[in-house]
Amino acid sequence: MAVIERINQLESEAMAAVSGAGSTGELESVRVRFLGRSAELTEIKKSIGTLPVDERKEVGGAANRVSRALEAAIGSRSEDLASGERERRLHEEAVDVTLPGVPYPKGSLHPTLRIIDEVVDFFVGLGYRVAEGPEVETDYYNFTALNIPPGHPARTMQDTFFLDEGLVLRTHTSPVQIRTMLSQEPPVYVVCPGRTYRRDSDPTHTPMFNQIEGLVVDRGITLAHLKGTLAALVRHVFGEEMKVRLRPSYFQFTEPSVELDVSCYVCGGSDPRCKVCKGAGWLEMLGAGMVDPAVLEEVGYDPEEFTGFAFGMGPDRMAMAKYDVPDLRLFFEGDLRFLRQF
């Protein structure tokens, strides 16, 4: 019978293909070829109903016998191949524990973060507490409580980002000082690092910049305490050879107000052609002053009993000075060629 002969022929071909399969992937192809939905043996089973009645039993029996034999052969061969592949993979993926480890590139602190850490560590060492506050502030904390009432011309100097419902992106970290004084009685010794925002962008300004402010309120605090503290800070960050000086200035929330200059880190004040200090020998570093009595009264402190000083500095600018960086925007661009230098 031709159909029976073809079934026997398929059995021989399939068994040879199973034995010759070199991987579980090849074996799966053999299974699909001989036992899949479109396989010839499957088509023979489907056509049994069209055969003469006296041939159906014999053909059906032969087809089922071959199917079972192939399934058994494929199952046995699959176990052998899988075991071999597993052993080979374990051998290939074995780890030689005697080999040296693979070195990973080390990261480093951002130059601005280095300065922030140095400054904060300095003041914590003096007994100051670190205080923080929200970056989205109310008009009251950002301006009014700091002696900058509505309509004051100083508000136009801040280049403020205004939000809805009287909210602003804080233009300085001074609101943290107000929140601190409203939450505790004197004495107050805090340092306030954080991000601030102003609508400004050029080689020495960015829309977002870092700021560190400090506040001291206690009995008997004078301008001499302020100068001594800031001089010690500058020498801590830039070295003992740095000189400092105070110049009169104006800030709305301090009286008197001063700006602190440091001696030029490039020429030390000895080169009139210096491109950094323009021959002046001094570089502006930060603003400071004695806390205005109006600010003390606003938070409920008695200015007749307590005095204090406050200061604010830009760690980004300090990093520019310490590491001789010409453009402030380099700190925010994320260029690895620049950052890897630190």
Per-residue pLDDT tens digits for 237-269: 888 878 888 999 998 889 999 999 888 776 766
How do residues 69-80 score in pLDDT, each as one tens digit? 888 888 888 888
How do residues 38-57 score in pLDDT, each as one tens digit? 888 788 888 888 888 777 88
CA–CA gap between residue 81 and residue 77 (Å, rounded) = 6
Closest of 76, 66, 71, 77 to residue 26, by C-alpha: 77
Contacts of 37 (CB under 8 A, 6+ apart): none
Average pLDDT estimate for 182-204: 86
DSSP 292: P
Asked if 131 contacts 176 with a C-beta cutoff of 8 angstroms, the reply is: yes
DSSP 270: -
DSSP 264: -
Mean pLDDT of the chain: 86
Query: pLDDT at position 158, please?
Result: 63
Asked if 209 contacts 195 with a C-beta cutoff of 8 angstroms, the reply is: yes
Average pLDDT estimate for 99-109: 82
The HSE-up count of residue 266 (CA atoms within 13 Å, CB side) is 19
Query: pLDDT at position 109, please?
Result: 85
Average pLDDT estimate for 295-317: 93
pLDDT band at 303 (very low <50, low <70, confident <90, very high): very high
- Helix, strand or coil, per DSSP, at residue 290: strand
Closest of 34, 28, 36 to residue 85, by C-alpha: 28
Q: Is the pLDDT of residue 131 over 90?
A: yes
Asked if 169 contacts 160 with a C-beta cutoff of 8 angstroms, the reply is: yes
Tell me the two tokens of residue 96: 């030689």
Residue range 111-339, CATH number: 3.30.930.10
Tell me the two tokens of residue 192: 């306030």
Query: pLDDT at position 243, please?
Result: 83
Phi, psi of 249 (to 5 degrees): -150, -165
Q: Is the pLDDT of residue 133 over 60?
A: yes
How do residues 25-41 score in pLDDT, each as one tens digit? 888 888 888 888 888 87
Average pLDDT estimate for 149-174: 81
- Please tell me which residue, 22 or 225, carries the higher pLDDT value: 225
Average pLDDT estimate for 115-139: 94
* Domain locations along the chain: 2-92, 111-339
Query: pLDDT at position 203, please?
Result: 59
Average pLDDT estimate for 179-206: 86
